[in-house]
Structure 1
């Protein structure tokens, strides 16, 4: 469900949701249950920021509807506008990857691919941007119930939500994202680089 100051705007394909207030968001309880070391998953989304810098949560994951619980931002911005991809590991702890600054008022395809065997990979416009270093993968946190995915914010309550979530080693600024989002897709498996390339060139 979408709430706050959301408008329908031209998207990367057809129409998109545009978020323009600190309480705008879209939320669904749809994140697949995971079984730790036996699980893989991927996110795919088109992102069009309307401002440069300042942070903002593109994708927020939580076990509580208010954005709290076992929670983190799989895709979020730094204060200077760099994209950061994150995954929660058992512990729980969060591992993060630093991506590029995305251009404003331009559609950019972003994909995150996570698996225990191959770790985490961040793709931008179909090209590999960052990946976990060294051999092996990540020990994925086990979600025993479907979790909430919130787009364009970290809490339905906005700044008053007082969300306290796990972050990785890269400083991020969670909260309201200003811009438009389109074609969000969630997969309960590891996408191949060829599949990511197809999604970025639809």
Structure 2
């Protein structure tokens, strides 16, 4: 190995050697660094400065003292469920597999940090803003995100329990808006989380007709945690800032029996879908979760008190 880089000829965080066939100098970055460039023009960048070194949104990237390889240290009250990016709160769920989708929105990321990899796609000019937990996504001027949800449960099985949870901060006006919209290519659709024409929070489902629960008026420019659970025995339960606010009677959720598109921030003009109101959301969303179980009151409380 050559050490000419000590006088500035090569990147100081690279090991360089001469290719025995071509006599060309080839440099490779040390552990914990990421290569850019090539051959003797390689540039070594600390991996922790690139997407947090591949660590999850609630982990700190650092380096092992001896090898300098990247290591991920989970924040308090979080556990690592697999790779560095698969993190959940210790009190959130019964098992990591119950998380179907998790968007932290940290740094504006639309990565799904569940094990399913259902990453979102942005449409329009989304803006990263200060969140309730780290960063959030600001929705304005019709911008939205969506994904294609393919797992069999929730969208394909009647009576399947589910939970949706997120932080919302409306910044526009008290009007009919859509926070979470679920639809299929065959015309089935529902505003799962929306506000009325006066800005009152509603959560909605379907049993051969609309079923829902009413929440409070969402305060403008204020973060509110929304927890929406469903099970056949309990029906809908709506939690606001960790507290049970309202509920429905028990009912059988009539699933669309098809893969669905989950859209955050708009209904794309499908205002007529149950419950018959919605529209473009003006505001910020943070920490979106979808589970294939009904979370307990204690688990919702944990999500609402990060």
Tell me the distance in 2 between the aligned counterparts of 1:4 and 1:96. Answer: 30
SS at the partner of 2:132? coil
SS at 2:133 equivalent: coil
Q: For 1:33 and 1:173, locate their aligned partners in 2 and report how far apart those are by CA, in whole Å.
A: 22
Q: Is the counterpart of residue 16 in structure 1 residue 136 in structure 2?
A: yes
Root-mean-square deviation over aligned CA pairs: 1.6
The answer for the alignment partner of 2:221 in structure 1 is 105
Which residue of 41, 56, 61 maps to 2:182? 61
Structure 1, unmatched stretches of 5+, are: 156-160
Return closer, same or farther for 1:182/1:110 CA change in 2, 3 Å cut-off: same
Q: Which has the higher contact order (CA 8 A, sep 6+)?
A: 1
C-alpha separation between the residues in 2 aligned to 1:138 and 1:186? 20
| Structure 1 CA distance for aligned equivalents of residues 218 and 271 of structure 2 | 25
Listed as ranges, the gaps of 5+ residues in structure 2 are: 1-120
Larger Cα-atom Rg: 2
Distance 1:9 1:26 in 2: 15
Do the aligned partners of residues 162 and 195 (structure 1) sit closer, same or farther apart at CA in structure 2, a change above 3 Å counting? closer
**2:190, 2:224 → 1: CA distance?**
22
Tell me, yes or no, if the aligned pair for 2:146 and 2:264 is still in contact at 8 Å.
Answer: yes
Matching residue of 2:294: 190
Match of 1:29 in 2: 148
Residue of structure 2 in register with 1:141 after alignment = 254
Is the 1:77–1:174 Cα contact (8 Å) retained in structure 2?
yes
| Residue from 260, 270, 277 that aligns with 1:173 | 277
Whether the 8 Å CA contact 2:174–2:220 is kept in 1: the answer is no
TM normalised by structure 2 equals 0.57
Q: Match for residue 121 of structure 1?
A: 237
The question of whether the paired residues in 1 share the 8 Å contact of 2:200 and 2:216 is answered with yes
CA apart distance, 1:163: 5.3
Summarize deviations over 1:31-74 as a string: whole Å, max 9, x none: 7433113x10000000000023121000000012xxx7100101
1:153 aligned to which of 256, 266, 277: 266
- Going from structure 1 to structure 2, the CA distance change for 1:43 and 1:162 (only over 3 Å counts) comes to closer
Contact 1:63 1:147 in 2 (8 A): yes
- Higher mean C-alpha deviation, range 25-34 or range 183-192: 25-34
CA distance in 1, matches of 2:226, 2:266: 17
Aligned to 1:158: none
Would the aligned equivalents of 2:271 and 2:277 in 1 still touch at CA under 8 Å?
no
- How many Å separate the matches in 1 of 2:242 and 2:156? 26
Q: What SS class does the counterpart of residue 302 from structure 2 fall into?
A: helix
CA gap 1:118/1:69 in 2 versus in 1, 3 angstroms: same
Which string of whole-angstrom CA distances, capped at 9 and with x for unpartnered residues, describes residues 114-162 of structure 1?
A: 01111100000000111014xxx2111123232111001002xxxxx45
